[in-house]
A and B are shown apart, each in its own frame.
Chain A
Amino acid sequence: MKTWSREIGVAATIALLYAVLFFSGRTYFSAENFGDLFLANLPVLIVALGMLLIILTGQIDISVGSQFAVCSVIAGVAAKAGMPVVLAGLASCAAGALFGAIGGGFVAFLRIPSIVVTLAMMIALRDGLRWLTQGAWIEDLPPGFHWLSMTQSRFTAAMAMLALVLVVAAATGLRFFRAGRMVLATGSSEAASRIAGIRTERVVFSVFTLTGALTGLAAALNAVRFQQVPSNAGLGMEMKVIAAVVVGGAAITGGSGTVLGTLLGVILLGSVGTALTFLGVSAYWEQAIQGAIILAAVAINLAGRGRE
């Protein structure tokens, strides 16, 4: 029987954090603040949903940060070239899917360890981008690009809806659909799954491609927040995403994990940074505390698994 102890633990920690914030002064709890916090972490959430699937199959992808950067630039360039915003967004998704498919192909069909493949992709993509753009940012984006021609608050509301849809879709997909079952089986035991007739290579290839597309989507939705697209977007993003998935209780070896857990992981790690600033703790502590949270989460995970 599935126990929700890990998810409850993370939720409790979040509650604790917000309780501390609440008693330190209500100014943290403003719609504006939460709106900003949400938008800043939306890309992480979207990519984390895909990363969860990859980790569930027993693989890893550390190239998502670099994919994010390239897709952001592609979205910006497409918009600047006069493409309607929606098409620019689709171009970004398609590019992401392509990168995901390349990585996934090497991992699934050539059986090269995913850490090696995605490390290579990470370096190739980022360096390739740097070389192409020479470090320049994409500026002078068309006005229709910014906030997708909505007001900021409308955009935020629309994104909240989108996030909800994606989270629910991911959760139901994993729990109720055959494809989700195959993902979990592949991660639990590739050998047994293959013998049971599951095409494990296709499963792995698909989750990599899907994550790439999600990264492209995240990149596009992030780019529209600003008037220009930086050429170094998404630096270090892969670590944030993986940390969120792990803190949320997914087993790094595969086969076990939930969407709810990942969502809670994103919330916790996303909240820590600004919370610390608000509480007057030096920003330098942010990384250290995030690291401590990750360590604690993994230790609790393993202890819980040992008992099972």
Chain B
Amino acid sequence: MEKSFEGVRALYGVSVELRAGEVHAIVGENGAGKSTLIKIITGAMHADEGSIEVCGRPVERNDPNVSRALGIAAIYQQPALFPHLTVAENIMLPLEMGARRRTVDWRSRHRRASSLVESLGATIDPRRLAGTLSMADQQIVEIAKAVGADAKILLMDEPTAVLTEREVERVFALIRRLKADGAGILYISHRLEEILAIADRITVLRDGHCVACRNAAEVGRGELIEMMVGRSIASVYPKRAVPIGDVALEVRGLSNEREGLRDISFSVRAGEIFGLAGMVGAGRTTLARTLFGLAPASSEVFLSGHPRRIHSPADAMRLGIGYVPEDRRRDGVILEMDVARNISLANLKSVSRRGLVSARRERALAARYVEKLRIKTPSTATATGKLSGGNQQKVALARWLATGPRVLILDEPTQGVDVGSKAEIHELIVQLAERGMAILLISSELPEIMGMCDRIGVFHAGRLAGTLAGAEATQPRIMSLALGHG
């Protein structure tokens, strides 16, 4: 069985070939194009150019139904089972869609489900509710679902991200079994150790390009990292030398047991831009939310040397902390409200007197920020949802700048923002640092982190794996720490 492919835009002429009975791994940084590739293969997205061939036959128009009929199934990082349905129901669901019979034959359903699960070497009672299973078992049920649908091409996108080491072994045993049965598996993961253990061949993607395709046996960890990352910082970042002041924010041994954050310690000075790097899910946003009072912290946070307990966003704001959240459309701005109202939302007191909001002062405040941040909007009364992503982000930023914070946490501030606005936002960030603000910059773009930050804290699995500054903050070093290698 063969599968080859080529696409453009987020992907530039990427070709991948998957053989029957092979585990073919795809590695790359965040944004390298891995998820786009999966989406095109499952038919959720269309390629602009290129072709998909299954078993030598080209696929004309791909969509989720077509790909399923061709035997392509995808398994994602988070098992997406229906928690209130049984295992058997979950497994049989994709098969029953489009079946001719209207009634449900419970017994044959259970029989089929058990035989599937057994053939995968697992022992899960098909009558159990899917929500009661462990993550590993849920993942196995997802695989059973795919196999039950006679999938011969399995796409696995970070399937072990939520699993412990022992559970990973069980899933791997399953994968080897499927291999032996002739299935082809496209395996995407950040965990290089796992990839080297399970894959036959490895394709490296970088910035949407296919950089290399090697046999797993012939390549080492170091070489992989180099290929994933090895580009120069082509873009220019406006980082300038800024006078650094006293310690504005300090965190000692901060933990958030429930969300997996452990023993975080670092400090940020006034005028400093401290970057937080790491893979998606490593805990950076959790740290931001904890610092901002949206999640419970285990200990105090030191602001300008004073220990403080932060229980809510209102506390955090009072202490001079601002937070521009990651999900702009859900948390950052209110799309139905106009620009002026969005900007004043976190600081209504400043534009109101004795509870009465002064529309005039609100508009003046908004106009000031529209000018300062160069927000492109027809007027301050325009609904924020009508602006482009970059301008929406500027509105979100303006909201927090209006509160006059001393510590500003920026969570992926230029994600999904056009190139022009990106440069403007970067310039703004540097200006804020020049004015003495301490800035925490969370970003998944290595060039951005390296170009903008004085020091970089690298997260891995809920811990701060290391803090880099100056010459030692190289891309390979950051990636290495982010992937959990010292």
Contact = CB atoms under 8 A, between A and B. Distances in A.
B355 A255 contact: no
Contacts of A178: 348-349, 352, 355-357
Interface in A186-214: 188-189, 191-199
A195 B334 contact: no
A181 to B, nearest CB: 6
A194 B314 CA distance: 9
B338 to A, nearest CB: 8
B294 A195 contact: yes
A152 B337 CA distance: 45
Given A176-B356, A196-B399, A185 B294 contact: no
A1 B355 CA distance: 24
B325 interface: yes
A188 B337 contact: yes
Nearest to A182: B348
Contacts of A269: none
Given A178-B352, A181-B341, A192-B333, A197 B357 contact: no
A9 B341 CA distance: 27
A308 B352 CA distance: 30
B323 A195 contact: yes
B336 interface: yes
A264 B341 CA distance: 27
A29 B218 CA distance: 94
Nearest to B318: A197
B331 A188 contact: no
Interface in B309-334: 312-314, 317, 323, 325, 330-334
Given A192-B330, A255-B336, 17 more contacts: A1-B381, A1-B382, A177-B352, A177-B356, A177-B357, A178-B348, A178-B349, A179-B355, A181-B357, A188-B337, A189-B335, A192-B331, A192-B334, A193-B334, A197-B313, A197-B346, A255-B334
A196 B349 contact: no
A269 B317 CA distance: 46
B292 interface: yes
B345 interface: yes
A63 interface: no
Interface in B334-393: 334-338, 341, 345-346, 348-349, 352, 355-357, 359, 381-383
Interface of A: 1, 176-179, 181-182, 184-185, 188-189, 191-199, 255-256, 308
B323 A189 contact: no
A189 B332 CA distance: 10
Contact of A193 (B345, B359, B382): B345
Q: How large is the interface on B (under 10, 10 to 19, 20 to 34, 35 or more residues)?
A: 20 to 34
A191 B337 contact: no
A192 B357 CA distance: 20
Contacts of A192: 330-334, 345
Contacts of A197: 312-314, 317, 346
Given A185-B345, A188-B336, A195-B292, A177 B355 contact: yes
Contacts of B332: 192
A189 B356 contact: no
6 contacts: A1-B338, A177-B352, A178-B348, A181-B345, A181-B357, A189-B334
Contacts of B330: 189, 191-192
Given A195-B313, A196-B399, A181 B348 contact: yes
Interface string B229-241: 0000000000000
A256 B331 contact: no
A61 B338 CA distance: 28
A105 B143 CA distance: 44
A141 to B, nearest CB: 39
Nearest to B345: A196
Contact of B336 (A181, A196, A256): A256
A17 B399 CA distance: 47
Q: Which of A176, A177, A179, A196 has the most CB of B within 10 A?
A: A196
A124 to B, nearest CB: 28
A255 B355 CA distance: 20
A253 to B, nearest CB: 11
Nearest to B353: A178
A58 to B, nearest CB: 12
Contacts of A198: 345
Contacts of B317: 197
A255 to B, nearest CB: 6
A178 to B, nearest CB: 5
B331 A191 contact: yes
Contacts of B336: 188, 255-256
A178 B358 CA distance: 9
Contacts of B352: 177-178
Q: Which 8 A-B pairs have the closest CB atoms?
A: A196-B346, A196-B345, A188-B334, A197-B313, A197-B314, A178-B348, A197-B317, A189-B334
A176 B341 CA distance: 12
A63 to B, nearest CB: 28
Given A177-B355, A177-B357, A194-B294, A199 B314 contact: yes
Nearest to B403: A197
Interface in B432-460: none
Residue in A176, A179, A195, A256 whose Cβ sees the most chain B Cβ within 10 Å: A195
B347 to A, nearest CB: 8
